[in-house]
Structure 1
Amino acid sequence: MRIGIIGTGNMADALGGRWAAAGHRVLFGGRSAERARALADRTGQRAGTVREAAAFGDAALLALPHDAVAGVLAALGAGDGALRGRLLIDCTNAVGPGFRLTTGTGPGAARAIADATGARVVKAFNHLPDPLWWLNPPDFADGPVAVPLCGDDEAALETVRILVRDLGFVPLTVGGLDRAAYLEATTAFLIGLWHSGHDPRTLLPPFESVTA
């Protein structure tokens, strides 16, 4: 599979690097040509512009700080621009001070990105920090970790499921793009718990106790 990575930060490095190691062809494109080239050289892949990454191959990953998203998307063109009709994986988190969503009462980040670009957006990979995506294999005592996916296009979802499995994780489709706002809010809540030293798992009883 060919994957364009829009961004050159930690998430771009982790996900793009792991997909490259799994045999996918990756093109890194970011606001810093130097950083894109460094990622490409380290992984044996290609570097290019943001526009080239958006148009490359079967899917594009949006891996930017959320406050940079609007400017980059505007440069790519709204509605009928480079991302229209493309599969765009959104792993951004619109989390500001106090671990609150910066999207406020408006549409969630993924929905806003879909509306701005006309892309077939799948929300995924936003619920864990970048070091965990590097784990190969991602073995945990409690079993495999699920990656929640939200999207409206079944073909796009199936492509992302493949990419999840290629990292050694388990895809879990949790609804359409209208559900992505809940995933984004849940992630903000989890980040707050982790940063305060709390284990979110202690909030829930064993699965068997609520399904018996």
Structure 2
Amino acid sequence: MKIGILNTGNVGGRLARAWAAAGHDLVLAKDGEDRKLAPLLAELGDRARLGTIREAAEFGEAVLFSVYWPRVEAVVAEVGDALDGKVVIETMNPLGVTAEFKHFHDLDFMRDGSTAEDLQRRLPEARIVKAFSTLAAPVLEAAAWSTSPVVPGVPYASDDAEAGRVTRGLITDAGFRPLAAGSLRAARQIEQLGVFLHHVADHEYGGDADLIRLALAVVEASPGPIARERIA
């Protein structure tokens, strides 16, 4: 499959490696200094080439929209109509930033919306899918879980069944378990999982710095549920 990556940062770079290894062809774009992509491009060889934001959008049958939330408007303006009809996998979390460059979840925004629904409104002809937002970049590689008894799940949500199917395959190609979460409105709950993981990191582990170690998984009981007779 042809995949465009906007923007190739910590998340996009890791998925680029996985998808190139799975045999996909990539155009990588950077919302910023694209010279930073030189080592990754050298690593990926003939599976990837550099392009502009617009070129990556035009190239991809599927496009990874892995953009810093405050930069969405600028990137959408650069893309124009290049994403019309495309499967667009959106990885963002609704993070605000203070004058001191400290990030925080925009809880007011999250109460009644999601970044995925916002992007769908901005790109009405694109086929938006929410995915890959619940794993921190340092563990968004299958190798990070090589000794784990459970592979993390990557929930995804979309109003487009075929776009969801494509995303499901790309989640598998990245080394994770796809978890269908329903319509795009479910992106609200997926994004709220990020807040939940912050709470777990803070209260159960050594603090928020340990967030990069955490993931969620759905585990099926084996051999199965244990039924007991209920006494009225």
2:153 aligned with 1:146: yes
The secondary structure found in structure 1 opposite 2:143 is coil
Distance 2:171 2:142 in 1: 13
Counterpart of 1:15 in structure 2 is 15
The secondary structure found in structure 2 opposite 1:149 is strand
Shift of 1:163: 0.7
2:40 aligned with 1:39: yes
AA matched with 2:36:
R
CA shift digits 1:132-177 (9 cap, x unpaired): 1223373354422211010011111111111111122111101100
AA matched with 2:115:
A
TM, length-normalised to structure 1: 0.85
Alignment of 1:59-138 (within 5 A): 59-77=62-80, 81-96=81-96, 97-101=103-107, 103-118=109-124, 119-136=126-143, 138=145
User: Identity over the aligned pairs, expressed in percent?
Assistant: 32
AA matched with 1:182:
Q
Q: How many residues align?
A: 202
Cα pair 2:110 2:188 within 8 Å, conserved: no
Counterpart of 1:181 in structure 2 is 188
CA distance 1:87–1:138, shift in 2 (3 Å): same
Shift of 1:42: 2.6
CA shift digits 1:24-64 (9 cap, x unpaired): 11110122232344432232211100001112132000112
Cα pair 1:137 1:168 within 8 Å, conserved: no
* Aligned-pair Cα RMSD in Å: 2.4
Structure 2: runs of 5+ lacking an equivalent:
97-102, 206-210, 227-232
Shift of 1:70: 1.7
Structure 1: runs of 5+ lacking an equivalent:
none
CA distance 1:101–1:53, shift in 2 (3 Å): farther
Cα pair 1:36 1:48 within 8 Å, conserved: no
- More deviation, 93-102/162-171: 93-102
